Amino acid sequence: MEIKSMYFKANAKTKLADVALQGNLENARGRFVTTRAEAIKELDDFEGTRDAAEAIRNRVIDNLDLWLERFEHKALDTGAKVLWAKDGAEVCRLVIEIAKRHDVKKVTKSKSMLSEEAGLNQALEAAGIQPVETDLGEYILQVDNNEPPSHIIAPAVHKGLNDVADLFHKVHGTPRKTDIPALTREAREVLRQHFLSAEMGLSGGNFLVAETGSVALVTNEGNGRMVTTMPRVHVVITGIEKVIPTLEDLSTLMRVLPRSATGQSISNYFSILTGVKKPEEHDGPEHLYFVLVDSGRADVVGSDFHAMLRCIRCGACMNHCPVYQTIGGHAYGWVYPGPMGSVLTPLYAGMENSIDLPHAATLCNQCGIVCPVKIPLPDLLRKLREKQTERGLRPLTERIGLRLWAWVAQQPRLYALGARIGARYLKWLAGGTDRIRLLPTAPEWSLGRDFPAPEGKTFRELYAARKHQAKETP
Amino acid sequence: MARVRVGLFVTCLVDLMRPRIGFAALKLLEGAGCEVIVPDTQTCCGQPAWNSGDAPGAVALAKKTIAEFEAFEYVVAPSGSCSDHIRTEYPVLLAEESEWLDRATALASRTYELTDFLVTVMKVDSVPGKHQGTVTYHDSCTGLRSMGIKQQPRALLAKLKGLELTEMNGCEECCGFGGTFSVKFGEISAAIAERKCENILASGAQAVVGGDLGCLLNIEGKLRRMGNESTQVLHVAELLAGED
C-alpha cells in the first residue's frame, strides 16, 4: 500500500474539520471502550491471563525460526503447501502464480491486513483476476473506489449509516434504504453469488498453530467460513510472527483477543482449519497454501522493538487512544493506525516516511494498559523518537533547540536567569490579563486554546526573597 | 525524633508559571512534620529531552538531579509526571552505567509524588485547606497509570470539610497535553482537551483539580478559549494548603 504518513499533520487537520467523521468517531469511541471494559470483567483474573498471553507470545518470538519450522513441518503433513514471501511484491507474485496454476478467475477474500500491506487487490486486478472482499466493512470500502481501511478490525468504522445507504444505492442500483438489516441483506445477496462462483478463497490468519499446522480464524460475519471452505483453493496470507506453539496456547489467547477487540467473550465464528479436504470429507479446499510473509518482521527480531512482534492485532490500543479517537485511522497514512501503527509504520514502511507518527501520541499509556499482550507502546514510541534524532531525521531547528535547552538546564545560574526573563516575558504578553491569546514562541498551542499567564516571578526568586527576609527579621 | 528530611523538587513548570504551588507543597510538607530543603541548583528532571528523543540530554539532566537530591531521605515533587520520570525512567536511561544505575535506583525508591508521599509515607491526619464548594478531579496519565496516584489525592481532599467531590465522566482520560505533543500537534491536542473540558463542565463542579501543572495549564487554556470564565483550575496542593 502506498504510504501517506508523511502528510499526517495535514491529513489530521482535514479529519478534525470533518463533522460527519467526528460524529462517527464519537459513536465508535463509546462502544469499543465500554464493551471491552464489560467483557474483561467476566474473567476472574484478566491481568493474570494477560501475563500468560504475553508469555506465550514471547516464547514464540524469542525463537521464531524454530516455531516456524515446526509449523511448516506440521502443515506439510496435513497436505498444505508453505511458501515464504520476503515482501509485498513477492506476496503478489506468489498469489498470482497460485491463481494461474489453478485457473482462477475470481478470488473471494476475508479480512487480511497483509493483503493491504502488499497491495494485493490491485496486483490481482492487473493480472486479470477479480478480488472480492467479503467482510462487510471491507466490501463497503472496495465498492467505494477501493478506499483503504481506517481500523484493523472495523475497517469502515469511519463511515456512517447515510454514507453506506448512498453508496449501496449508487453501486447496487437499488432504491436507497437506511434500514441496517436491509442493507446487510443487500450486501449478502451480492456476495452470495461471488461465494458460489469463486475458484479461490483468500484469508488472513489470527494465529498459526505449530502443534497441528492449523490456522485459526476469528470472525463475526461467517464470510470467513465461506471463503475458506467453498472454493477449491484456499490461500492463507499472514505475517511470520503469527505462529503460536499449541492449541492450549490458542485457548489462552482467545480469552483475551475477542474481549480486547470487540468486547465479546468469543467471536461469532471461530475456526481452526487444518489441511486439505480428505477423501471422506464433504467440504474444504482441495489445495491449501500458506504464504508466510516477512515484510520487515525478521529485522525487528532481537531489535529494540522486539516486543512489538507480540501484537495480536486486536485494535484495543487504537480504540483507547485519545489521538486515534480524535482523528480516526486514515490520517496515519498506511495500513496500521493508532499506537501500534505508529510503531509498525516506521519499522515496516520506513522511518523517514513517517516522521510525525512516533510523536503523534501524548504518551498517556492508555494503550499500554489495555494491550492484551502488554506491549509497552509508549516506550517503543519514545525509542523511535530517539532513533529519529540519532539518524538526523528531526528538523535541524528542533535538534538545536533541544540540545541548547538541555545544555542551559545543566547551568543552574543561566537557567535561573532564563526562567526569570521567561516569566516576565510571558507576563508581559498577557498584558495585565490572566491569559495569553497568541503564544509567539509556540503558536501551535494557541490554535485551539489560550495559555494561562504566569505569576510573573519564578519560585526560586520568591523562595530566595523569603529566606532572605527570614534572616533579616529573626 | 529527628524530622524526615525531604528534598523538594519544585519542577521547572511550577518554577516558571505557578510558584504558589511550590509554596503550597512546602507548607504541606512542613505541616506534616518534614524538614524541607529546596536545592537552589535544581532545574528540570529532563523528561522533555527524554520524550523528544534526546537521550544524551536526558542522561545529563538525570545525573545532575541525582547528585542534587540523593542526600535526602525522600524526594517529593508536586507532579506525578516529574516524580515518575525520576522513579521509573532514571534507572532505564542510566541502565548502561552501573555506578549511576545504583544511584538512580536508590533515588528512585525514595522519590514520591506529593499526595502519595503525604498519604503513604507521612500518613497525615489533617491539612490546613478550607476550600468550600464542589470540585472534580482530573487524574493525570503518568501519575495514575505508572504510579497508581488515584485514591491519595481524594483521601486528602476528603479531609476538607466544605469540599464536595463530584467525579466527572472520563476522569482518567488524557487531557491532550502530552508535553511537546501540545505544541507539535496543537490542533489535535486542543481537540482532545475539548472533550476533557466538556466532561468537566458537565460535572457541574465549580473547580477542576489535578496534580500536574502541565495538564492544568492545558485545561485552563481550553476552558477559557471555550468561553468558560467561572470554573476554577487548581493544583491539589493549593487546595490542601489553603493557598487557593
> Is A78 a domain residue?
yes
Exposure string of A232-265, with b = 16+ CB inside 10 Å and e = fewer, is bbbbbbbbbbbbbbeeebbebbbbbbbbbbbbbe
How many angstroms separate the CA of residue B140 from the nearest CA in chain A? 8
In CATH, the number for domain B4-121 is: 3.40.50
**Claim to verify: residue A284 and residue A401 sit in the same structural domain:** no
> Is A58 a domain residue?
yes
Query: What is the per-residue pLDDT across A159-217, written as a single tens digit (0 to 9) for each?
Result: 999 999 999 999 999 999 999 999 999 999 999 999 999 999 999 999 999 999 999 99
Exposure string of B231-241, with b = 16+ CB inside 10 Å and e = fewer, is bbbbbbbbbbb
Chain B, nearest residue to A419 by Cα: B16
How many angstroms separate the CA of residue A2 from the nearest CA in chain B? 24
C-alpha dist (Å) from residue A244 to A67, A80, A214, A306, B54: 7, 18, 10, 16, 37
Specify the pLDDT at position B129: 96
> Is A342 a domain residue?
no
Whether A362 has its CB under 8 Å from any CB of chain B: the answer is: yes
Exposure string of A73-83, with b = 16+ CB inside 10 Å and e = fewer, is ebbeeebbebb
Q: The CATH number of the domain where A173 resides is what? A: 3.40.50.10420
For cell 470554573, name the residue.
B231
Running DSSP on this structure, what letter comes out for residue A351?
Answer: G
Cell of A257: 483477543
Cell of A75: 502443515
* Average model confidence (pLDDT) across chain A: 97
Q: What is the pLDDT along chain B (244 residues), one digit of tens a residue?
A: 679 999 999 999 999 999 999 999 999 999 999 999 999 999 999 999 999 999 999 999 999 999 999 999 999 999 999 999 999 999 999 999 999 999 999 999 999 999 999 999 999 999 999 999 999 999 999 999 999 999 999 999 999 999 999 999 999 999 999 999 999 999 999 999 999 999 999 999 999 999 999 999 999 999 999 999 999 999 999 999 998 8
How many angstroms separate the CA of residue B22 from the nearest CA in chain A? 7
Domain boundary among A277, A299, A321: A299
Query: What is the per-residue pLDDT across A42-68, written as a single tens digit (0 to 9) for each?
Result: 999 999 999 999 999 999 999 999 999
Contact B155, B124 (CB under 8 A): no
Cell of B146: 505508572
Specify the pLDDT at position B1: 60
How high is the ipTM of this complex?
A: 0.96
Nearest to B212 by CA among B240, B236, B242: B236
Query: What is the per-residue pLDDT across A234-272, written as a single tens digit (0 to 9) for each?
Result: 999 999 999 999 999 999 999 999 999 999 999 999 999
**Claim to verify: residue A406 and residue A292 sit in the same structural domain:** no
DSSP state letters, B17-42: H-HHHHHHHHHHHHHTTEEEE--TT-
For domain B133-241, give its CATH number from 1.20.1440, 1.10.287, 3.40.50, 1.10.1660: 3.40.50
Q: Which helix (H) or strand (E) segment is A239 a member of?
A: strand A233-239
Query: What is the per-residue pLDDT across A120-142, written as a single tens digit (0 to 9) for each?
Result: 999 999 999 999 999 999 999 99
Whether B242 has its CB under 8 Å from any CB of chain A: the answer is: no
What is the pTM for the complete model shown?
A: 0.97
Rounded CA-CA distance B151/B170 in Å is 16
> Is A401 a domain residue?
yes
Rounded CA-CA distance B16/A423 in Å is 6
φ and ψ at A414, to 5 degrees?
A: -65, -40
Mean of pLDDT values over A396-418? 95
Within A296-432, residue ranges assigned H as helices are 297-300, 316-319, 322-327, 338-349, 366-370, 377-390, 396-408, 412-430
Chain B residues within an 8 Å CB radius of A461: 19
The domain total for chain A is 2
Banded pLDDT at A9 (limits 50, 70, 90): very high
- Put simply, the chain A residues between 288 and 327 with a CB less than 8 A from any chain B CB are 322-323, 325-327
Q: Does residue A283 register a pLDDT over 90?
A: no
Rounded CA-CA distance A100/A233 in Å is 11
Banded pLDDT at A474 (limits 50, 70, 90): low
**Domain enclosing residue A120, as ranges:** 5-299
Beta-sheet pairing, A207-209 with A214-219: antiparallel
- Put simply, the chain B residues between 77 and 136 with a CB less than 8 A from any chain A CB are none
Crossing angle of helices B55-69 and A396-408, in 10° steps, is 10
Chain A, nearest residue to B43 by Cα: A409
Question: Would the CB atoms of B141 and A363 count as touching at under 8 Å?
Answer: yes
Mean of pLDDT values over A148-158? 97
Question: Would the CB atoms of B178 and A415 count as touching at under 8 Å?
Answer: no
Specify the pLDDT at position B2: 79
Running DSSP on this structure, what letter comes out for residue A352?
Answer: G
Chain A residues within an 8 Å CB radius of B233: 452
C-alpha dist (Å) from residue A11 to A309, A360, B229: 28, 13, 33
Specify the pLDDT at position B217: 98
Length of chain B: 244
Which residues belong to CATH 3.40.50 in chain B? 4-121, 133-241
Domain boundary among A238, A273, A299: A299
